[in-house]
Copies of this chain bind each other. A is one copy, B any other.
Amino acid sequence: MDLDAVRTFVVAADAGQFQEAAAELAVTQQAVSKRIAALERGLDVRLFTRTARGAQLTIDGQAFLPHARELLRVAERAVASVHAARRPLRVDVIASRSGQSGLMRGFHRAHPEVDLDVVMVFDVEAAVGAIRSGAIDASFRAVAKPGAPLPDDIESVRVLDEPLQLLTGPGHALASARSVTLAQLVGHRIWMPGIVPGTEWAAYYDDLVARFGLTIESTGPNFGSDALLDTVADTPALATFMGEHSRLVWPTGHGLRRIPVTDPTPVYPHSLLWHRDNPHPALATLRAHLAATPPAVDAPGTWTPDWVHRR
């Protein structure tokens, strides 16, 4: 299937004849004829009945036409998604299934007319670089990590404090607890593979460890959340942290438990970052939406690192 052939088909169907379609496409009538013939050969179906006064759609052609138009629409949007001018709002998130994705879903429900592209860059440093270069329009990140304040041209606002929960298998010592305090976690092994030193998320957990004396291991390669959950479920001595709003593919029959953490509740501080001069209209819409659904940040009984930007 060739998109040029599909476009030719649509034009010919609208024109009702190959000749006019050829003129519109600035090719010869014979070229149109060959394109349509090739499309028909590829689909193994007749799309037009050729008459002396033009070409008329067959029933199959009629059925195919709206799909062809849709195909061209989607192709156009695909091209637009990588073209700087009038492209969808491009937002970076820390993980596709983590807390800010909920915010984005809410935004999409409230403003379905806004086109969105979601990407993931490495860390807040890369995000800031991408925002400054115009590669992305906004980023949900924790800011700023120690010793690296945000540049002047990057603005940010706290939008969500996401409580961390303890995730354990059924055999874990704390598996049956309704909730646990941070003090209770001292001495337990908490496993979070994939933490990369130097990133803002690593800094967050470093601070958490230093402040409350926890034991967090980030050894071993990160094989994805499925493998992580499998391991935690099968290893009574291991637990892990997980954002309250994260939507994982929840394995059934593993007996996994999500346990709230209290006294205080560690919360991951998501901020929205954007460039001061970014003119994308949808960025203003997103900011207005987030401002209109005021987040509960720095609530009593919650903990964030000292270096987190306050409102």
Contact = CB atoms under 8 A, between A and B. Distances in A.
Q: Which 4 A-B pairs have the closest CB atoms?
A: A67-B78, A62-B119, A63-B117, A59-B135
Nearest to A47: B82
Interface stretch (A12-20, A68-76, A229-237): A68-76
A63 B89 CA distance: 10
A82 B45 contact: yes
Given A45-B82, A59-B136, A66 B117 contact: yes
A79 B1 contact: yes
Contact of A43 (B2, B79, B88, B117): B79
- Residue in A43, A60, A88 whose Cβ sees the most chain B Cβ within 10 Å: A60
A121 B59 contact: yes
Given A71-B78, A74-B74, A1 B3 contact: yes
A79 B71 CA distance: 11
A311 to B, nearest CB: 29
Contacts of A119: 59, 62-63
A242 to B, nearest CB: 24
B59 A67 contact: no
Contacts of A82: 43, 45, 47, 60, 63-64
A34 interface: no
A215 interface: no
A77 interface: yes
B59 A81 contact: no
Interface in A68-111: 68, 70-71, 74-75, 77-79, 81-83, 87-88, 90
Interface string A36-62: 000000011101000000000001101
Given A75-B71, A78-B71, A79-B43, A59 B90 contact: yes
A63 B135 CA distance: 10
